[in-house]
Amino acid sequence: MQINKEQPIGIFDSGIGGLTVAHAIRTLMPEESLLYFGDTAHLPYGDKSEAAIQAYSVKIADVLLRRQCKVIVIACNSASSAAYNLLKEYVHRSVEVINVIDPMVDLVVGKFANQSVGLIGTRRTIQSGIYAEKINARQAGITLKSLATPLLVPMIEEGFFNNQISDKIIHEYLDDPHLKGIEALVLGCTHYPLVKEEIASFFSKRIAVLDSSEVVAQSLRDYLRQAGLLNVKRSAPDHFLVSDYTESFEASTKQFFRESVHLEKYALWG
């Protein structure tokens, strides 16, 4: 398939959490057009089986390819852990696939060698053990302490952040003895940047709280540049598709993308 730089960047997540990554991409590369797919009909992915997430991801990749995306960004840790390898194989003759885990692993290995690093994420991401596997393979002497924090996604989706309820839930999770002594904390879910400040405050800003949106945007830009696919002038407006539509989703997109966007319904199984 012939790819040209004017084609959009395809981005997907289980819902609107990946808009945190889309926003970082938009900020770093204002000349690019984005096509975002939020699989709101199947949210949350964090509690789904690996097989289910793989099936959704393949369907979404088909949509993004049909809409001529020049690259696919999996803006979701749960889907990156469950479906990245499969998706790469599925589309490898057509386009490159970027996940949110590898750029974060590079950052952690580069900055926190021989230190103790915490990781929070959905059950799917934590149970997959993928961060530990990739970090250990780099032999940087990092001790990774992982903790599933499954309430955070529904809490954020319901608009509970920067208030007493979210503070209480975050406190309850981060107080876990397993996380004692960490020198950095990886936010292993693209919803979590919305509570990054609260998390940093819990640690009295003593440790680094690492969110993947910027490193993913940078790694995408590196790829596009090296492949000669970096756009120089925006050729189309951004487009946002969701597999199920509610007004509340549309309202909360503003918090994730930091500007209003119009969501268009696109049923995955027509």
Residues annotated catalytic, as ranges: 76, 189
If one asks whether residue 211 binds ligand DGL (CB under 6 A), the answer comes out as: no
How is residue 181 annotated by DSSP? T
Pair type for strands 34-38 and 9-13: parallel
Q: Does 22 bind ligand DGL (CB under 6 A)?
A: no
Sign (positive or negative) of CA dihedral 240, 237, 72, 19:
negative
Give the separation between CA 205 and CA 260, rounded to whole angstroms.
Answer: 30
The residue whose two tokens read 């999996």 is: 74
Residue carrying the six token digits 């997109």: 253
Q: Are 124 and 96 in contact (CB under 8 A)?
A: no
Q: How many C-beta neighbours within 10 Å does residue 168 have?
A: 11
124 in Cβ contact with 53 (< 8 Å): yes
Q: Which residues contact 102 (CB under 8 A, 6 or more apart)?
A: 134, 219
Shortest gap between Cβ of 76 and ligand DGL (angstroms)? 4
What is the x/- site pattern for ligand DGL, positions 179-198, by CB under 6 A? ----------xxx-------
Site string for ligand DGL, 81-110 (x = CB under 6 A): ------------------------------
Per-residue string for binding with ligand DGL, 141-180, x by CB under 6 A?
------------x---------------------------
| Site size with ligand DGL, rule: CB under 6 A | 17
Interface stretch with ligand DGL, choices 41-49, 177-185, 214-222, 255-263 (CB under 6 A): 41-49
Q: Among 10, 13, 40, 266, which residue interacts with ligand DGL (rule: CB under 6 A)?
A: 13
Only one residue has tokens 């406190």, namely: 171
Residue 148 phi, psi (nearest 5): -80, 135
Residue 243, interface with ligand DGL (CB under 6 A)? no
Specify the residue, 52 or 63, whose C-beta has the smaller distance to ligand DGL. Answer: 52
253 touching ligand DGL, by CB under 6 A: no
Residue whose CB is nearest to ligand DGL in the complex, by number: 46
| Residue 224 DSSP SS3 | helix
Catalog residues that contact ligand DGL under the rule CB under 6 A: 13-15, 17, 43-46, 76-78, 122, 125, 153, 189-191
